[in-house]
């Protein structure tokens, strides 16, 4: 762990590689389920709309960002979609998971309420 309390070294690399694996795995299964790549492109950045909550406060922004960037939401939607036989729900969940993986691979972690740049993977930027 780094002095700032964020993940560093090999664990940080492993977490980023897990992000790559999540992105690639979600995209792979999206393709296997026959999802539209146009829909994938259109919705891929949709979770980033949560940034608008930062207009209210850093706390509201962190809550909204974390809700949109944790794996719990898309995994729940994926299970629900499979259970109900809803391909569109499965497709949206996989796009969402791919986005979360992409962000983690780039080092964007879940946010702390102090500031947007403070994440569980470390401070964004230099």
Give yes or no for residue 75 having a pLDDT over 80: yes
Segments making up each domain of the chain, as ranges: 16-123
Give the integer Cα–Cα distance in Å for 19 and 33: 21
Contacts of residues 40-43 at CB distance under 8 Å and 24 or more positions apart, as own/partner, are 40/91, 40/95, 40/98, 43/92, 43/95, 43/96
Mean pLDDT, the chain, integer: 91
Per-residue pLDDT tens digits for 13-61: 999 999 999 999 999 999 999 999 999 999 999 999 999 999 999 999 9
Coil, helix or strand at residue 111: strand
| pTM of structure | 0.90
């Amino acid at each position: 762990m780094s002095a700032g309390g964020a993940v560093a070294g090999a664990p940080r690399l492993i977490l980023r590689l897990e992000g790559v694996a999540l992105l690639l795995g979600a995209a792979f299964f999206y393709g296997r389920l026959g999802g539209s790549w146009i829909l994938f492109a259109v919705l891929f950045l949709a979770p980033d709309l949560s940034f608008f909550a930062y207009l209210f406060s850093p706390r509201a922004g962190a809550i909204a960002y974390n809700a949109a960037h944790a794996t719990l939401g898309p995994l729940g939607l994926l299970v629900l979609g499979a259970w109900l036989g809803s391909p569109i729900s499965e497709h949206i969940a996989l796009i969402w998971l791919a986005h979360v993986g992409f962000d983690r691979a780039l080092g964007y972690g879940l946010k702390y309420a102090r500031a947007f740049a403070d994440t569980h993977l470390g401070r964004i930027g230099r």
